[in-house]
């Protein structure tokens, strides 16, 4: 049988069949090309310890005019961006609602049901709750993925926290009490779980009595499981009590990244 030399072209061709690619690879695993020759992959290094939400289907690396380096990662659920070693969520918002606090829990279950007529999410959609809500002995706060639609204008999600009591259409956001001439503010929030020196995150700004409660605060004292104190930047000009977001919950609805193009939503980087 005669022999002949075959020069394998560098690269992996996934557009043609193996028969068509007579002198080129169609499949590979842990290899790379260097100077036209195949060699095993030299390994990899993890960029960040925080896992992406969902399965990544696209990466886009770029830098801005100041030389800052970014890596955008899109999954079927979220759009996140890595810069300076920090992974941040930049998924576009579909809607923001401010419903009356009507959260329901069942004792022994970690599932919370929300009644909100302002928006109709589907299973698999994500919401972000910036107003912490105390209900059934647990605190509902941050990102939650919708896992069910039990009724009209209702959706549910698994918080991972087991409720200690059954509540139907209840719950409460934090309330702030000021003392005239003092910067100290008493926060009333059932089962807050904070200790002295802990951090209270007031994402939704609340203005009252010449004070504005917004951002991160160190906990000064913890009188009981339902109250703690923080220090505002200025002194209050009145003694009063108000609730975050006028006593309502606030909910941010996130687009699924794969649905952004259909919805005509664009994200501008840099």
The domain limits of the chain are 9-40, 50-92+255-270, 96-254
Kindly give the confidence (pLDDT) of every residue in the chain, 270 residues in length, as a single tens digit, with 9 standing for 90 and above: 677 777 777 777 778 777 776 777 777 888 887 777 788 877 778 888 888 888 888 889 999 999 999 999 988 888 899 998 899 988 888 889 999 999 999 999 999 999 998 888 889 889 999 999 999 999 999 999 999 999 889 999 999 999 999 999 999 999 999 999 999 999 999 999 999 999 999 999 999 999 999 999 999 999 999 999 999 999 999 999 999 999 999 999 988 655 554 444 444 444
Which CATH number among 3.40.50.1000, 1.10.10.10, 2.40.30.20, 1.20.120.530 corresponds to the domain 96-254?
2.40.30.20
Cα 204 off chain centre by: 15
Q: pTM, whole model, 2 decimals?
A: 0.76
Asked whether 189 and 200 are in contact (CB, 8 A), the reply is: no
């Amino acid at each position: 049988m005669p022999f002949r030399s075959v020069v394998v072209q560098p690269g992996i061709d996934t557009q043609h069949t193996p028969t068509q690619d007579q002198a080129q690879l169609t499949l590979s695993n842990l290899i790379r090309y260097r100077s036209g020759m195949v060699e095993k992959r030299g390994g990899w290094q993890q960029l960040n310890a925080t896992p992406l939400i969902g399965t990544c289907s696209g990466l886009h690396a770029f830098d801005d005019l100041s030389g800052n380096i970014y890596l955008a990662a899109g999954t079927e659920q979220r759009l996140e961006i890595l810069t300076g070693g920090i992974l941040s969520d930049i998924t576009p918002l579909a809607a923001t609602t401010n419903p009356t606090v009507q959260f329901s829990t069942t004792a022994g279950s970690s599932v919370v049901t929300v009644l909100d007529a302002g928006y109709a999410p589907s299973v698999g959609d994500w919401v972000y709750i910036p107003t912490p809500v105390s209900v059934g002995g647990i605190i509902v706060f941050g990102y939650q993925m919708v896992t069910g639609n039990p009724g009209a204008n209702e959706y549910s999600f698994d918080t991972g926290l087991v409720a200690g009591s059954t509540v139907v259409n209840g719950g409460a956001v934090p309330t702030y009490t000021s003392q005239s001439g003092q910067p100290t503010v008493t926060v009333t929030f059932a089962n807050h779980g904070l200790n002295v020196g802990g951090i209270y995150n007031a994402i939704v700004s609340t203005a009252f009595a010449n004070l504005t409660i917004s951002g991160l605060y160190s906990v000064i004292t913890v009188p009981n499981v339902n109250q703690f104190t923080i220090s505002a930047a200025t002194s209050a000009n009145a003694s009063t009590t108000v609730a975050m977001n006028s006593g309502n919950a606030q909910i941010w609805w996130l687009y699924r990244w794969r649905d952004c193009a259909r919805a005509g939503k664009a994200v501008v980087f840099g």
